């Protein structure tokens, strides 16, 4: 079943985390981006459609100006995101251009998803871009979304995007390999769970076994994103973004991470 879900997916939202997109020095990993773009091109040639949700603006901003001297300062962080967003889109534009693909930037906030009028506008823009074969690249509008009023993080933004578009698969490229049955940093025998259908009971089990495990590596927001996507019948995969040809492999049904499958499937 796991293989079929990914192989049959025609409308795919892919979220790229900062750690996948950037090298350890904070610069955008051109090698990753080039390979990623060629895999997305392959999907498009197969008649599939792709929307990207990309993090990395903060990291790219810090790398661009070569300093992060006031990293605790919220306004400074927002300024870095504003700088980095340009670098991010410039890198995506240059890379996808080599494959003859145009990209579009979409910056969203929590209020946009709270309002039905705005949500409809987002939906219409996404559909129009898809009709034209353009790849939308979504990020949170960090200038106006401070911590207190944030969507949460880009995992949740990606789930919201998948719901609004009516995607049939959501892929989170992450620094983690998947969801473990216990916290891998404290349990040497922790295993990745290949498929999860009941998120609630998993959450309960994880917090009973080890209260830290639901917090580690952003797992909490991944479970929240999965709940949202699954609620609308959209399967979600969490996988390590640095795996070679990760997108191509998923599209062929070869999944190494964790698949959250909606109950009805
Ligand atoms: N919008 C932030 C950025 O591009 C990332 C938020 C997140 O990864 O959750 O740096």
What's the CATH code of the domain at 120? 3.40.1160.10
SS3 217: helix
7 located within any domain: yes
Which residues have CB under 8 Å from 196's CB, separation 6+?
A: 179, 202, 226, 258, 259, 260, 261
Phi and psi torsions of 152, nearest 5°:
140, -90
Residue 211 has pLDDT above 70, yes or no: no
CB 61 less than 6 A from any atom of ligand 1 = no
Give the model's pLDDT for residue 216.
46
160 located within any domain: yes
Ligand 1 atom index nearest CA of 61: 10
CB 139 less than 6 A from any atom of ligand 1 = yes
In which residue are the tokens 């959250």 written?
260
SS3 158: helix
Count structural domains, the chain.
1
Q: Which domain holds residue 60?
A: 2-260
The stretch 32-48 carries a mean pLDDT of 97
77 located within any domain: yes
Give the model's pLDDT for residue 250.
95
CA 89 to CA 200: how far, in whole Å? 37
* For helices 219-231 and 154-165, angle between their N-to-C axes, nearest 10 degrees: 10
201 located within any domain: yes
The band of 114, judged by pLDDT with boundaries at 50, 70 and 90, is very high
Residue 264 has pLDDT above 60, yes or no: no
110 located within any domain: yes
Q: Could you tell which of 140, 141, 217 is best to mutate to test the pocket of ligand 1, judged by most ligand atoms within 8 Å of the CB?
A: 140
Residue 161 has pLDDT above 80, yes or no: yes
The stretch 87-97 carries a mean pLDDT of 97
The band of 207, judged by pLDDT with boundaries at 50, 70 and 90, is low
- Of the candidates 231, 242, 193, the one whose C-alpha atom is nearest the C-alpha of residue 213 is 193
234 located within any domain: yes
Which residues have CB under 8 Å from 225's CB, separation 6+?
A: 155, 156, 158, 159, 170, 172, 236
The band of 208, judged by pLDDT with boundaries at 50, 70 and 90, is low
CB 87 less than 6 A from any atom of ligand 1 = no
SS3 181: coil
State the burial class of residue 36 (Cβ atoms within 10 Å of its Cβ: 0-12, 13-18, 19+): buried
Mean per-residue pLDDT of the chain: 90
Q: Between these two residues, 245 and 184, which has the higher pLDDT value? A: 245
Residue 26 has pLDDT above 90, yes or no: no
The stretch 166-179 carries a mean pLDDT of 95
CB 178 less than 6 A from any atom of ligand 1 = no
Least confident of 46-50, 54-58, 178-182, 193-197: 178-182
CB 225 less than 6 A from any atom of ligand 1 = no
265 located within any domain: no
In which residue are the tokens 């952003």 written?
218
Is the pTM higher than 0.75? The answer reads: yes
The band of 201, judged by pLDDT with boundaries at 50, 70 and 90, is confident
* Helical ranges in the chain per DSSP H: 2-8, 18-21, 30-45, 57-65, 74-97, 110-114, 116-131, 154-165, 199-209, 219-231, 246-251
265 alpha carbon – ligand 1 mean position (Å): 31
Q: What is the DSSP string of 143-154?
A: TT--GGG--SSH
The band of 204, judged by pLDDT with boundaries at 50, 70 and 90, is confident
The stretch 167-179 carries a mean pLDDT of 94
222 located within any domain: yes
């Amino acid at each position: 079943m796991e293989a079929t879900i990914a192989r049959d997916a025609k409308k795919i939202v892919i979220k790229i985390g900062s750690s996948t997109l950037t090298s350890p020095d904070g610069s955008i990993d051109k090698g990753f981006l080039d390979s990623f773009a060629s895999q997305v091109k392959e999907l498009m040639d197969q008649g599939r459609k792709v929307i990207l949700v990309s993090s990395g603006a903060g990291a790219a901003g810090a790398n661009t100006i070569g300093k992060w001297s006031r990293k605790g300062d919220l306004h400074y962080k927002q300024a870095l995101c504003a700088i980095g967003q340009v670098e991010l889109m410039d890198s995506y534009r240059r890379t996808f251009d080599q494959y003859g693909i145009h990209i579009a930037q979409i910056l969203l906030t929590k209020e946009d998803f709270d309002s039905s009028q705005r949500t409809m506008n987002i939906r219409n823009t996404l559909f129009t871009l898809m009709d034209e074969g353009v790849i939308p690249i979504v990020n949170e509008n960090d200038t106006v979304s401070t911590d207190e009023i944030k969507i949460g993080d880009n995992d949740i933004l990606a789930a919201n995007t998948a719901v609004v578009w009516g995607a049939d698969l959501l892929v989170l490229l992450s620094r983690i390999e998947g969801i473990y049955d216990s916290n891998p940093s404290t349990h040497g025998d922790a295993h990745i769970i290949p498929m999860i259908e009941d998120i609630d009971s998993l959450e309960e089990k994880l917090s009973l076994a080890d209260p830290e495990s639901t917090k580690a590596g952003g797992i909490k927001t991944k479970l929240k994103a999965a709940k949202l996507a699954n609620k609308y019948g959209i399967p979600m995969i969490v996988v390590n973004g640095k795996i070679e040809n990760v997108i191509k492999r998923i599209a062929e049904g070869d999944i190494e991470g964790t698949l959250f499958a909606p109950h009805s499937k």
